[in-house]
Chains A and B, each alone.
Chain A
Amino acid sequence: MDKEGAPVVFLVLDVLKPHKPSIVEFGKILHSKGVSGSSISVYAVDEKTESVKVTLEGDDIDFDRIRSIIEDAGAVVHSIDKVVLGKNID
């Protein structure tokens, strides 16, 4: 549960990552505690990097933890595009 209030249940991130790890491996790395489902899609490919949209669903997503996992994989969060907190908005 988020210490400040309602838990984060849905998160869309714009991430720039190297080609390795692949999005399959990247998804598995992101599938940590509090995340029950994830979707990753590539929307731009460069020579050494790719831009991906990461969509995470869960009952209590810890954003700081997710960001540190992303950074540990050599990627970087460009922006947080959508967030849903609590249970009544889809």
Chain B
Amino acid sequence: MNILEYLKSISRESIARRYFLMNSFDGSLTIFGIILALQLAGSGNPKVILISCLGAAIALAVSGVWSAYAAEKAERLREMKTLERHILRDLDDTRIERQLNSIVLKVTLVNGLSPFIAVLVIISPYIASQLGLLSADSAFTLSLIFVATILFSLGVIAGSISEDDKLGNGVKMLSAGVVVAVITILLEAVRVI
């Protein structure tokens, strides 16, 4: 099975689609919050932003992998043990156990990698800035555009999964970014941060 087929097989798992949406969304908003807060605090230095965001990205990825593995493995094992009681036999080393492990692996990968990839895209302008290809201000503007694009795209994907209003879902997701921005700016304005 090549990588493309493997990715297609992952996208067919509803739980993996759900984790992809939830964790890309989480990762994007978290990094957006960090970038905005650092900018408002006057620490717009690309290196500081890059290190802060990379630290958060690694934490999100590790947390995603660990939590999904523990939670999914526990749930799937529970399902298998229930099935074992019904069928009155051990299901170790059967197709069922192999499928269970395959789903756990897929969900774990999606849960860990989706926020990490989203974060990498968002901070890519700062990487370019570190390499001297962009100014710090341009990197900030571009990363905001990337956050908005990712949030909107996630909404469109959600709409596409539910066969619902894609544009409306995109706007709903985007509005979460607006909420984060408004609250962070207000907090800075009233000198809470």
Give chain A's interface residues, CB within 8 Å of chain B.
Answer: 16-18, 20-21, 46-49, 71-76
Contacts and interface: CB of A to CB of B under 8 A. Distances in A.
Given A48-B87, A73-B95, A74-B95, 15 more contacts: A17-B87, A18-B83, A18-B86, A18-B87, A18-B96, A20-B96, A48-B82, A48-B83, A48-B86, A49-B83, A49-B87, A72-B94, A74-B83, A74-B96, A76-B87
Contacts of A46: 86
Contacts of B192: none
Contact of B94 (A47, A48, A49, A73): A73
Given A18-B83, A48-B82, A48-B83, A76 B88 contact: yes
Contacts of B83: 18, 48-49, 74
Given A18-B83, A48-B82, A48-B83, A76 B89 contact: yes
B91 interface: yes
Contacts of A49: 83, 86-87
A3 B93 CA distance: 29
Interface string B70-108: 000000000000110011110100111000000000000
